[in-house]
């Protein structure tokens, strides 16, 4: 009963989080379409792209997942020990230390930007410097936002934090639509774009703050460096940050190989276009499952309840597979019509579609395993053993680089294929490491579920491709025709997948169907 209830609660929380994340991703796509409408892909917009790299990298390393991965387990552990006042004092201390530290880094970067930025670009030096100076405050803003979101997630409140990127995207879209037409000159229009991002980030920071009320404490002006828990937060951040940094190094190496060894005129952009499609189900499902389960894993670890910990990890892995395997199958067989439907208009030529589609199909091979890695990394963060995840990430970089060297010769799709193969190896390595640490992790039950899910996904792929193949010559390859054929194929594949899952006894489907009961009054 307890396991069934856990699956039901996971499915409900994941559904809510996925809807919010999906809305944000769709608005992000609209944001990119609007920006492309105003700025195109060539010219001064490249100054904005370069300027955004450094603050975005620092944000990703320090003010985002690294902070959450280090803060949530410590905060949750203190709550579990009924040390609520101390937990909030630690949160307040980390909040102010991050605000002061990141504000100092921001001020230093603004001063040094004229020296740091020009070596990174061969053009638009002055414009790039100014844009970077405008954008860098988002680092400090998102640093304090990470504390607020971490507190809410520790109390298993996910909806508002998941919705904040929606308002971030809306603010930027409004800034572009309302501000850019009234700005004179390309530089002024880009300043409007950068300013809109800063305003959207400020909204993202302030929006969840009211939901801190009634949580049994409040953030206040307090810096208690003597508390060992504060030191543990920063000690945990170092290996987490290294792990995330290594992941970013992977992406940089892949981009460099694509540009220097394959075809600089199309390979980097083709891979990036495919990656944006690949990340849609990843962000909606695996990120949702990992985020929802992270506080629960931290509580089980704090209580030394390893049976509950194992069960939660197993449930999460199976739920990720159930949600991502059909997406992987659909992307593999419908990659080309999907890319044609999404991108093939305006300046995106038909001969570019097969290149991007091949990259998407290669990415799809590792979709499930990348999702599992997200959850397994958080499992080690919950156990306050991030060095294991960091070690696997380091090995992943070495393997990925070797695979890049071996596979770039096949063309642009060799880079995402290398990433997928490295993700498979990384997920297996994390599973082995977790099993050694816990003794057992429900591998038998998970394996039985995975083969059923794999079979149902194969049936989905056959049905989806068959329907599209029949409809494609009938409806044509215009936007309306592709919308009809791809939509019908996805609908048919989904129906087959759900029917096959029920026939095969996939228990994760029961958790999904229980959402209707969860919404009904008891």
Measured at the CA of 45, the angle between CA 43 and CA 49, to 5 degrees, comes to: 125
521 has pLDDT over 50: no
248 has pLDDT over 70: no
Neighbours of 391 (CB within 10 A): 18
Q: Where residue 145 falls among pLDDT bands split at 50, 70, 90?
A: confident
Average pLDDT over residues 14-42: 69
Does residue 306 sit in helix, strand or coil?
helix
Output the pLDDT for position 430. 92
Which has more confidence, 442 or 246? Answer: 442
Of 33-37, 273-277, 357-361, the least confident = 33-37
148 has pLDDT over 70: yes
Are 96 and 222 a contacting pair, CB within 8 Å? yes
11 has pLDDT over 50: yes
Q: Where residue 119 falls among pLDDT bands split at 50, 70, 90?
A: confident
Average pLDDT over residues 21-47: 69
Output the pLDDT for position 122. 55
User: CA 211, CA 20: separation in Å to the nearest integer?
Assistant: 17
Does residue 156 sit in helix, strand or coil?
coil
Of all residues in the chain, what percent carry a pLDDT higher than 90? 24
H-only helix segments in 408-442: 414-438
HSE, side-chain direction, 13 A CA sphere, residue 267: 20
Average pLDDT over residues 93-104: 87
Average pLDDT over residues 224-230: 83
Output the pLDDT for position 42. 47
360 has pLDDT over 70: yes
Contacts of 349 (CB under 8 A, 6+ apart): none
| Alpha carbon separation from 41 to 126, 134, 170 (Å, rounded) | 19, 21, 22
281 has pLDDT over 50: yes
Under DSSP, the state recorded for 14 is H
316 has pLDDT over 60: yes
Output the pLDDT for position 500. 94
Output the pLDDT for position 452. 93
| Of 409, 329, 312, the residue nearest 364 (C-alpha) | 329
331 has pLDDT over 90: yes
347 has pLDDT over 80: no
Measured at the CA of 125, the angle between CA 267 and CA 105, to 5 degrees, comes to: 95
513 has pLDDT over 70: no
Q: Could you tell me the two tokens for 269? A: 């952009």
Q: Where residue 436 falls among pLDDT bands split at 50, 70, 90?
A: confident
22 has pLDDT over 80: no
Are 171 and 199 a contacting pair, CB within 8 Å? yes
Average pLDDT over residues 410-439: 90
424 has pLDDT over 60: yes
Average pLDDT over residues 151-155: 79
Average pLDDT over residues 318-337: 93
Output the pLDDT for position 161. 74
Average pLDDT over residues 103-115: 89
User: CA 295, CA 378: separation in Å to the nearest integer?
Assistant: 9
Dihedral in degrees, nearest 10, Cα atoms 102, 104, 107, 113? -70
Q: Where residue 127 falls among pLDDT bands split at 50, 70, 90?
A: confident
HSE, side-chain direction, 13 A CA sphere, residue 419: 30
Output the pLDDT for position 45. 64
Are 190 and 51 a contacting pair, CB within 8 Å? no
User: What would the pLDDT profile of 467-495 be if each residue is shown by its tens digit?
Assistant: 999 999 999 888 889 899 999 999 999 99
Are 258 and 415 a contacting pair, CB within 8 Å? yes
Output the pLDDT for position 341. 83
Q: Could you tell me the two tokens for 166? A: 């929606």
User: What would the pLDDT profile of 35-94 be if each residue is shown by its tens digit?
Assistant: 767 765 445 666 776 677 677 766 666 655 566 667 777 888 888 888 888 888 888 888
Q: Where residue 453 falls among pLDDT bands split at 50, 70, 90?
A: very high
User: CA 341, CA 353: separation in Å to the nearest integer?
Assistant: 10
User: CA 211, CA 148: separation in Å to the nearest integer?
Assistant: 9
Output the pLDDT for position 35. 73
240 has pLDDT over 70: no
Average pLDDT over residues 101-116: 88
Q: Which long-range contacts (CB under 8 A, 24 or more apart) does 393-399 make?
A: 393/242, 393/243, 393/244, 393/246, 393/247, 393/426, 394/242, 394/246, 395/426, 395/429, 396/246, 396/247, 396/250, 396/422, 396/423, 396/425, 396/426, 396/429, 397/246, 397/249, 397/250, 397/253, 399/425
| Of 173, 358, 346, the residue nearest 278 (C-alpha) | 358
Which has more confidence, 38 or 422? Answer: 422
User: What would the pLDDT profile of 158-217 be if each residue is shown by its tens digit?
Assistant: 677 777 888 889 999 999 999 999 888 888 999 999 999 999 999 988 888 888 887 777
Cα 334 vs. chain centroid, distance in angstroms?
23
| Alpha carbon separation from 488 to 29, 152, 467, 485 (Å, rounded) | 23, 40, 7, 5
- CA-only gyration radius of the chain, Å: 23
Average pLDDT over residues 287-299: 77
Average pLDDT over residues 333-356: 81
């Amino acid at each position: 009963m307890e396991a069934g209830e856990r699956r039901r609660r996971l499915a409900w929380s994941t559904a809510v989080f996925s809807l919010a994340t999906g809305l944000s991703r769709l608005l992000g796509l609209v944001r990119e379409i609007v920006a492309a409408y105003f700025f195109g892909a060539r010219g001064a917009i490249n100054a904005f792209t370069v300027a955004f790299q450094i603050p975005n990298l620092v944000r990703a390393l320090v003010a985002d997942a690294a902070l959450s991965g280090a803060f949530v387990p410590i905060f949750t552990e203190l709550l579990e020990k009924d040390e609520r006042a101390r937990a909030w004092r630690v949160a307040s201390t980390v909040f102010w230390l991050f605000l002061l530290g990141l504000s100092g880094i921001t001020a230093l970067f603004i001063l040094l930007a004229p020296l740091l930025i020009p070596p990174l670009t061969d053009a638009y030096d002055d414009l790039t410097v100014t844009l970077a100076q405008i954008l860098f405050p988002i680092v400090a803003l998102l640093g304090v936002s990470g504390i607020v979101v971490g507190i809410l997630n520790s109390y298993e409140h996910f909806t508002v934090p998941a919705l904040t990127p929606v308002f971030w995207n809306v603010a930027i879209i409004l800034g572009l639509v309302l501000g850019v037409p009234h700005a004179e000159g390309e530089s002024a229009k880009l300043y409007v774009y950068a300013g809109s991002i800063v305003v959207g980030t400020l909204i993202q920071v302030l929006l969840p703050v009211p939901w801190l009320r009634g949580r049994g404490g409040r953030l206040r002006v307090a810096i208690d460096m003597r508390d060992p828990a504060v030191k543990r937060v920063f000690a945990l951040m170092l290996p987490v940050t290294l792990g995330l940094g290594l992941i970013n190094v992977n992406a940089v190496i892949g981009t460099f190989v694509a540009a220097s060894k394959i075809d600089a005129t199309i390979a980097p952009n083709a891979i990036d276009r495919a990656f944006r499609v690949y990340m849609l189900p990843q962000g909606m499902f695996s990120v949702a499952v990992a985020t929802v389960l992270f506080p629960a894993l931290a509580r089980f670890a704090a209580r030394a309840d390893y049976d509950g910990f194992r069960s939660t990890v197993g449930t999460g892995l199976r739920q990720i597979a159930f949600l991502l395997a059909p997406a992987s199958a659909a992307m593999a067989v419908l990659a080309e019509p999907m890319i044609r439907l999404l991108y093939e208009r305006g300046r995106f030529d038909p001969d570019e579609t097969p290149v991007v589609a091949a990259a998407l199909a290669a990415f799809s091979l590792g979709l499930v395993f990348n999702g599992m890695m997200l959850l397994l990394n958080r499992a080690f963060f919950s156990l306050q053993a991030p060095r294991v995840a960091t070690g696997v990430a380091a090995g992943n970089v070495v393997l990925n680089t070797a695979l890049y060297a071996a596979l770039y010769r096949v063309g642009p799709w060799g880079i995402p294929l290398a990433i997928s193969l490295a993700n498979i190896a990384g997920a297996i390595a994390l599973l082995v490491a977790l099993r050694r640490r816990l003794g057992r992790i429900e591998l038998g039950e998970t394996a039985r579920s995975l083969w059923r899910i794999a079979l149902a996904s194969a049936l989905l792929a056959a049905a989806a491709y068959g329907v599209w193949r029949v409809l494609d010559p009938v409806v044509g390859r215009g936007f309306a025709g592709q919308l009809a054929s791809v939509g019908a194929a996805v609908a048919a594949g989904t129906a087959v997948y759900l029917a096959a899952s029920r026939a095969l006894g996939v228990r994760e489907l029961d958790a999904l169907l229980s959402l209707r009961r969860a919404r009904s009054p008891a």
